[in-house]
Chain A
């Protein structure tokens, strides 16, 4: 425990504040990509939209629901923990991991499908049905934005697994579960980022 804090309550308050500042920072990591998207969409217009429409809506939408439900299970795990229902909380987190893996699996499926068509990022792009440079740019952005997001999903899943282990070792209970709340906040951010990526990359062509 930090030398600087006199009591647990103060230290927890500091941890939460630190986490929120960190989340702000993480969100801004995506800012540049949203900026590039805005600029290229404004610049290219129609051929950009056309490439957008080539993305499989059902895949993106299912993934959106997967993450939303996973976010629910994170909140549910915190709720159960507060009520001292730790077994339920554990299974909630297991559900989160399962859903997170499902998300990644669907993304892998989607990437593979794209790559087989010749839709690859940057210089490797060679999809003849959408030859306009706007399409290449759209898909490069798509890969980078969803790829960066996927890295955050992996980080979040690592945190979830660590939390599951802590519950099993009884280090988390109704009175001591700061790390669960903090990890939960991170996962919700991962969900929020995708909530914005989905319409931009799948819906609004």
Chain B
């Protein structure tokens, strides 16, 4: 992690930015189509893709070892757990 810095290529950051902007535009565009029940699911799916890009290419999560990846996965799982538990309660009443 603190080995002498190798000249890193900057191109990947620019490409990631382009991808993020594109996905944002796509998300906005799809929202205009009013896809009903699927709308939120698609929007969240795109958001997950964008978040993954930020985590992998901006945060470079794979540089930091297993622990960081475990933290990321566990965090997502727990948020999902809380949302499902409360959402299911209300939905099933």
Contact = CB atoms under 8 A, between A and B. Distances in A.
29 contacts: A13-B1, A17-B65, A21-B67, A35-B85, A35-B86, A38-B83, A38-B84, A38-B86, A39-B89, A42-B90, A42-B91, A65-B21, A68-B21, A71-B54, A74-B58, A75-B57, A76-B13, A79-B8, A82-B6, A82-B7, A178-B2, A184-B58, A184-B59, A188-B55, A195-B50, A199-B47, A200-B43, A204-B40, A204-B43
Interface of B: 1-2, 4-8, 10, 13-14, 16-17, 20-21, 24, 27-28, 31, 39-40, 43-44, 46-47, 50-51, 54-55, 57-59, 64-65, 67-68, 71-72, 74-75, 78-79, 82-87, 89-91
Given A21-B67, A65-B24, A75-B58, 19 more contacts: A8-B2, A17-B65, A17-B68, A20-B68, A28-B75, A31-B79, A38-B86, A39-B89, A43-B91, A72-B14, A79-B8, A84-B5, A174-B5, A175-B4, A184-B58, A185-B59, A188-B54, A196-B44, A199-B43
Given A72-B16, A199-B46, A203-B31, A79 B10 contact: yes
B71 to A, nearest CB: 4
Contacts of B44: 196, 199-200
A203 B9 CA distance: 35
Given A17-B64, A61-B24, A188-B59, A34 B82 contact: yes
Contacts of B51: 192, 195-196
* A interface, size bucket: 35 or more
Nearest to A192: B51
A39 B87 contact: yes
Interface of A: 8-9, 12-13, 16-17, 20-21, 23-24, 27-28, 30-32, 34-43, 57, 61, 64-65, 68-69, 71-72, 74-76, 79-80, 82-84, 174-175, 178, 184-185, 188, 191-192, 195-196, 198-200, 203-204
Contacts of A20: 64, 67-68, 71-72
A39 B86 contact: yes
A16 B13 contact: no
Contacts of B90: 39-40, 42-43
A9 B71 contact: no
